[in-house]
Amino acid sequence: MRLLQCLADQAGQVVSIDDLINHVWAGVAVSSDSVYQAVTSLRRLLGDDPRRPAYIETVPRLGYRMIAPVTVWEEPLAPSANASLAATDEKPEPSVSKRASSLLWLTVALSVAVALGFLLHARFTGSDRAGSAAAAPPQQSVGVLPFLDLTEGMHNEEFADGMTEELIDKLSKIQGLSVPSATSSFYYKGKELPVGQIGRELNVTYLLDGSVRKSGGRVRIATRLMRAENSYVIWTETYDRPLSDLIRVQDDIAGEVAKALKSIAAPPSQGKSF
């Protein structure tokens, strides 16, 4: 909502990544990857297509712009005021104060409220009905969610999908680690579901997701490992590599995930290993 309001406050204007970080994440140390992922989540909630945006437009190398019409929310007039206006046949002029604290685009706010309500309902009701009697997932199990394509113009979806498939293949070869198939993982592509629900449906303890960006001859891959039951992030890393070094990146990510799981599931005194 803070991201939405920041863009709505400056509707029609380009808001840079730095400005968004300063306004939305004030006092919190975050990277530009947090902005990209938040914008992607907001677009999904609004049902906005980044290739043909109706709400949020990406301005390459500059930032983002709210292109949907934004109006000021006006409090309804009291009955006496309505009667007075009817008698005089006059209409009030709407306030256009841009800095008004109540500046929100009603339609967008309702869209977000409905979407968030659906997600909360799915998490606390429907998703729990099927999981109460289910067996606990294996402790050493991780599902790899489809990586997001955050490249300029978002024309590298196949590249992001390929990274997802390669990581599933790499992780599935680690002894003692259970990894759902690519078919199961790609079922959740483009779906905005609670992490807990995805974890239960895949029957895994952890989930790995990430994003891919390209600039010139280099690629940046941001990854994070979450505990499915509570969405807590237990490991995150960003890799900057030349495009010719992708195999090494995949090996690095798979190795780091295995280390993170090992440190949680096997304390040094127990001496467990994959």
Q: Are strands 148-149 and 14-15 parallel, antiparallel or unpaired?
A: unpaired
Question: Which residue segment(s) compose the domain that 207 sits in?
Answer: 142-265
Is residue 74 a part of any domain in this protein?
Answer: no
Edge-to-edge, what's the strand order for the sheet holding 56-59? 14-15, 63-66, 56-59
Give the pLDDT of residue 156.
73
Statement to judge: residues 120 and 197 lie in one domain: no
Give the pLDDT of residue 79.
59
Each residue's pLDDT tens digit, 49-96: 877 888 998 887 788 999 998 887 776 665 555 555 555 555 444 444
Give the pLDDT of residue 205.
92
Statement to judge: residues 184 and 108 lie in one domain: no
Give the pLDDT of residue 119.
54
Statement to judge: residues 252 and 168 lie in one domain: yes
Measured distance CA(108)–CA(8) in Å, rounded: 9
Write out the two tokens for 57. 């437009």
16: domain CATH number is: 1.10.10.10
- How many CA atoms, within 13 angstroms, populate the side-chain half-sphere of residue 156? 19
Is residue 80 a part of any domain in this protein?
Answer: no
Statement to judge: residues 172 and 242 lie in one domain: yes
Is residue 153 a part of any domain in this protein?
Answer: yes
Statement to judge: residues 115 and 221 lie in one domain: no
Is residue 190 a part of any domain in this protein?
Answer: yes
260: domain CATH number is: 3.40.50.10610
Give the pLDDT of residue 55.
92
Q: Which residues pair with 215 in a beta bridge?
A: 218
List, run by run, the mean pLDDT of 10-residue segments along the chain (274 residues).
90 89 84 80 83 85 88 68 52 46 50 54 46 64 90 74 86 88 89 88 92 83 90 88 78 80 58 45
Is residue 130 a part of any domain in this protein?
Answer: no
Residues ≥6 apart with Cβ < 8 Å to 37: 148, 211
Statement to judge: residues 195 and 256 lie in one domain: yes
Is residue 62 a part of any domain in this protein?
Answer: yes
Statement to judge: residues 199 and 113 lie in one domain: no
Is residue 79 a part of any domain in this protein?
Answer: no
Statement to judge: residues 115 and 191 lie in one domain: no
Measured distance CA(129)–CA(186) in Å, rounded: 24
Statement to judge: residues 112 and 199 lie in one domain: no
Statement to judge: residues 118 and 185 lie in one domain: no
Q: Provide the number of structural domains found in the chain.
A: 2
Statement to judge: residues 149 and 49 lie in one domain: no
Assign 3-class secondary structure to the chain.
CHHHHHHHHCCCCEECHHHHHHHHCCCCCCCHHHHHHHHHHHHHHHCCCCCCCCCEEEECCCEEEECCCCCCCCCCCCHHHHHHHHHHCCCCCCCCCCCCCCCCCHHHHHHHHHHHHHHHHHHHHHHHHCCCCCCCCCCCEEEECCCEECCHHHCCHHHHHHHHHHHHHHHHCCCCCECCCHHHHHCCCCCCCCHHHHHHHHCCCEEEEEEEEEECCEEEEEEEEEECCCCCEEEEEEEEEEHHHHHHHHHHHHHHHHHHHHHHHCCCCCCCCC
Statement to judge: residues 189 and 156 lie in one domain: yes
Is residue 90 a part of any domain in this protein?
Answer: no
Measured distance CA(272)–CA(274) in Å, rounded: 7
Give the pLDDT of residue 132.
39
